[in-house]
Structure 1
Amino acid sequence: MPQVTVVGHDGGGFGAAAGAALARATLVAGGERHLSGLDVSAECLVMGPVAPVVARVAAHDGDAVVLASGDPGFFGIVAALRRAGIEPVVIPAVSSVAAAFARAGLPWDDALVVSAHGRDRVDAPARRHDPFSWTLEVPMATSSVHANGSSGPHGGGLRRAVNVCRAYPKVAVLTAPGSGPAELGAALAGWERTLVVAERLGTPQERLVTVEAAQAHTAGWADPNVVLVLDPTRPDVRPGPGWIAGAGPGPAGWALPEAAYAHRDSMITKAEVRAYVLARLGPRIGDLVWDVGAGSGSVAVECARFGAAVLAVERDPAALPLITANTAGLGVRLVAGDAPGCLAGLPEPDAVFVGGGGPPVLAACAARRPSRLVTAVAGVERVGPALAVLSAAGYRAEGVQLQAARLSVLPDGAHRLAATNPVFVVSGELP
């Protein structure tokens, strides 16, 4: 029965198993640099768009070898072959991410790995995943990122990769032409990040450059490369032995009690309201959430604990130290200013919570088209205008009144119900 073997190639020679597979193969596919100088009698197929090559390999009546770079099972060709019904034998090399962290002398079990390729839709065709691999089907001319971190119509991959870099202290980014170190540096304006750019790993032109995000934006970079994005304000070493790679298991709970936060005169979104607000915002890894009128920053904290990148916007100078204290170590960026004016230069949000400012602020946030938009108001008269703003902006709008009665202990040990003030939560979702 014909066998397809995928061989990861790191620029050196081939091992015994890879050599035997190449000797048996009647079809060998790979990038130009993989096939260059290869001494085989088989038909050689230069990789361009992946789909036709995968189809050709699937239809081939004989043994085939697909040459890839690094570990082809890590954001590589193995997934595309398996989707086509092929069960390949895989002979991996060291992945570009592992090589980049090794060159930098850093552990990476606590790092997130993201792809900066354009993928707004789940079924969007992938581009080159491993920096040493071939270019796949989506032309990068359709993807752009602006200096404020927003992205063009097909820039979803870069946008979400940037949001992960905003939220986490250690991230490896698999890049592509048009979504590389310069674009990452531009999008990270306002966040203190150091970039370690590993160019052309495994070749004589290999280079490792450490640069601040702002400098990366103005420099020239050689493809292929992989970028390590590091937050110098947060330690890069876990306090003890880890048990799970990447982001960790997530928060043990949410809707933290008010006592968990520094706040003034109970001016804080109550836990029961926060629980519902979180359900409507749906913060997740790869999202950017705005908390506008952040107050104590409690909603910002909850969203950051779920893995989202967060901007906390607040105009009251007295509240700023409270937000700073409450968000310490979470990577939340504080924006001191008066909304809606201060929102103009901020990167595009995926979800927004408006804690104050009324219809003008809500309308300004809706104009930025976040997928989910939530506001909490105390007065019933404010519900109608909020619903009207969301509906006029094309959101599916709804509202709910929340009121909790908490158990309170009496002097004799019995309990009574202590009512919290009712709050109206108005939310909208784009169709």
Structure 2
Amino acid sequence: MGRVTRAADPAAVGRPAAAPVTVVGVDAAGAPPHPAALAALAGARLAVGAARHLACAALPDDCATVTLGPLAPALDRLAAAVAAGLPAVVLASGDPGLFGIVRRLRVEGLPVRVLPAVSSVAAAFARAGLPWDGAAVVSAHGRDLRPALNAVRALPAVAVLTAPGAGAAELGAGLVGWRRRLVVAEHLGTPAERVVETTPERAAATAWADPHVLLCLATDPDEVGAVRADNQPAAAPAGGWALPEAGYAHRDSMITKAEVRALAVARLRPRLGRLVWDVGAGSGSVGIECALLGAAVIAVERDPDAVDLVRRNAAAYRVDVRVVAGAAPVALAGLPDPDAAFVGGGGLDVLAAVAARRPARVVATLAALDRVAPALGLLREHGYRAEGVQLSAARLADLPGGSVRLAATNPVLVLTGDRP
């Protein structure tokens, strides 16, 4: 077969071919290690980067430079260079594809060639002598701190890219009450490099140098499990969810049934970066399944025997659920605000205390019909769109002679409040 060729665009005749922007990763000491980096720098006609990176780069005398501050002017200059066919480089720390400038360049439609250096995350784990194939990597740089904070609350091994005002001190303060040890890596690769292992309490009381990387690790990885066998640190659990009641230790069938739990967890929308309260936790089954789906979870339970059950069940599923022993609403005071809350026990005063904390979603289960109208009214008074559904499941049960019958479970009302 003959080769098919595309007809030339007459308007493009004589126009220079678009040259990709070469993004060069610079290690913390200032030397670009990739073998092709020196050649890219030597041929550059435009270089964009932070002042410290441009100062150490071997650029031609006639190379124009743009020092990064606001990004928009630099992007305009890069687009013009690409259109003119001029070689352009961007200098960036570490691996520019890891929460770096590569994403923004691609959003702008610029062709990109990447020559990475060792990322600050890889360097931090290496300095600490730790493996990180099971770790999650999140960023608190230039964004809301809460998702990163909830990720380190939920998972046993997390690296956080920090920023002034969103670093080890702030994250440490938010981790008080969770069993975590922290490794703070300051000024990696420079003469001022310092790697310190500390606790959340000490981190919160320390002034850390910028830039630094935070590693947050479970104090007992054997208890929580630092690496999932499926290489998915925050994906849906391999064993599924809405697990049968027999999968949990519980007392006298005091457990949210699997059919109800499936809807409750779906309505709570747990995922990495969110904090879920399980109030009146009982066996802890709802909170544990939210934790299996990546959420940070606080379980509140007043019964000392049930508190022990929650801890045993969480350990059995190797998730880190923070258990608060005490009666709501008093026990809710001082807890970090949730993104979603499940109220499985307590009266209207508990539901009111939860709604007053303004989580985006509230899910409550009720057995008594006379509580439904007051609970709906309470949620609506707190600004929620409230709705409810009654769930009544009948499970197959064997009969003598090979027949089966339907065995009814108790009806349960599930109320959901959504904040507009």
TM-score of the aligned structures, taking structure 1 as reference length:
0.88
1:156-167 residue pairs with structure 2 within 5 A? 156=144, 158-167=145-154
Q: 1:5 maps to which residue?
A: 22
Question: Could you tell me how far apart the structure 2 residues matched to 1:398 and 1:244 are?
Answer: 38
Deviation at 1:350, TM superposition (A): 0.6
The structure 1 residue matched to 2:130, chosen from 106, 126, 137, is 106
Question: 2-side partners of 1:257 and 1:237: how far apart?
Answer: 22
The aligned residue for residue 125 of structure 1 is none
Q: 1:397 to 1:327 in 2, by over 3 A?
A: same
- Pick the aligned partner of 2:72 from 22, 46, 51: 51
Other structure's SS at 1:401 match: strand
Deviation at 1:24, TM superposition (A): 1.7
Measured in 2, the distance between the counterparts of 1:77 and 1:218 equals: 32
Distance (whole Å) between structure 2 residues aligned to residue 346 and residue 243 of structure 1: 33
1:240–1:352 CA distance, 2 compared to 1 (3 A): closer
1:326-341 pair list within 5 angstroms: 326-328=313-315, 329-341=318-330
Aligned partners of 2:226, 2:157: CA distance in 1, in Å? 15
Aligned to 2:111: 87
Structure 2 equivalent of residue 412 of structure 1: 401
How much does 1:239 deviate?
8.9
Please name the residue that 2:366 is paired with: 377
Any stretches of 5+ residues in structure 1 without a counterpart?
Answer: 120-155
In structure 2, the CA distance between the partners of 1:194 and 1:241, relative to structure 1 (3 Å rule), is: closer
Task: Decide which of 321, 324, 332 is 2:311's aligned counterpart.
Answer: 324
- The CA deviation at 1:245 is 5.3
Q: Provide closer, same or farther for how the CA distance between residues 245 and 253 of structure 1 changes in structure 2, counting only shifts above 3 A.
A: closer
| Cα gap change, 1:315 to 1:398, in 2 (>3 Å) | same
Structure 2: state its 5+ residue gaps: 1-16
1:26 aligns to 2:40 (yes or no): no
Q: CA deviation at 1:45?
A: 1.0
What is the deviation of 1:65? 0.7
Change (3 A) 1:178 1:406: same
**Contact 1:111–1:245 (CA under 8 A) maintained in structure 2:** no
* One-letter amino acid of the counterpart of residue 64, structure 2: E
Q: Once structures 1 and 2 are overlaid, which stretch shifts more, 15-24 or 229-238?
A: 229-238
- 1:420-431 alignment, distance < 5 Å: 420-431=409-420
- CA distance in structure 2 between the aligned counterparts of 1:226 and 1:236, rounded to whole angstroms: 25
AA partner of residue 253 (structure 1): G
Q: Deviations over 1:119-159 (max 9, x none)?
A: 3xxxxxxxxxxxxxxxxxxxxxxxxxxxxxxxxxxxx3x11
In 1, Cα distance between equivalents of 2:167 and 2:184: 9
**2:91 paired residue among 49, 61, 67:** 67
Which residue pairs with 2:240 in the alignment? 253
Q: What SS does structure 1 have at the residue aligned with 2:305?
A: coil
Residue of structure 2 aligned with 1:361, choices 326, 350, 353: 350
Q: 1:103 to 1:115 in 2, by over 3 A?
A: same
RMSD: 1.8
Work out the CA distance in 2 between the residues paired with 1:180 and 1:201.
15
Residue number in structure 2 paired with 1:387: 376
Query: Residue type matched to 1:337 in 2?
Result: G
- Distance apart, 1:243 and its partner CA: 5.1
C-alpha distance 37-323 of structure 1, shift in aligned 2 (>3 A): closer
For 1:197, the equivalent position in structure 2 comes to 184
CA distance in 2, matches of 1:98, 1:67: 19
User: What secondary structure does 2:288 align onto?
Assistant: helix
1:253 Cα deviation from its structure 2 partner: 1.5
| Partner SS, residue 412 of structure 1 | helix
How far off its partner does 1:318 sit?
Answer: 2.4
1:298 deviates by 1.1
Residue in structure 2 matched with residue 232 of structure 1 by the alignment:
219
Question: 1:13 Cα shift?
Answer: 4.9
SS of corresponding position for 2:130 = coil
Give 1:244 shift: 2.5
Render the CA deviation track for 1:240-283: whole Å, top value 9, x for unaligned: 99552533553432111111111111111111110111111111
Q: Say which SS state the counterpart of residue 233 (structure 2) adopts.
A: coil
- Given the alignment, which residue of 294, 308, 314 partners 1:307? 294
**Tell me, what secondary structure is at the counterpart of 1:324?**
helix
Query: Which residue number in structure 2 is paired with residue 149 of structure 1?
Result: none
CA distance in 2 between partners of 1:195 and 1:239 (Å): 14
Larger Rg: 2
Query: In structure 2, how many angstroms separate the alpha carbons of the residues matched to 1:241 and 1:374?
Result: 30
Q: 1:239 to 1:7 in 2, by over 3 A?
A: closer
- Contact 2:46 2:87 survives alignment (8 Å): yes
Contact 1:54/1:80 (<8 A) preserved: no
Equivalent in the alignment of 2:55: 36
- Using a 3 Å threshold, how does the CA distance of structure 1 residues 209 and 79 change in structure 2: closer, same or farther? same
The answer for the alignment partner of 1:295 in structure 2 is 282
- Report % sequence identity: 61
**Larger fraction in helix:** 2
- 2:120 counterpart residue number: 96
Q: Which amino acid aligns with 1:353?
A: F
Alpha-carbon spacing, 1:407–1:338, altered in 2? closer, same or farther (3 Å): same
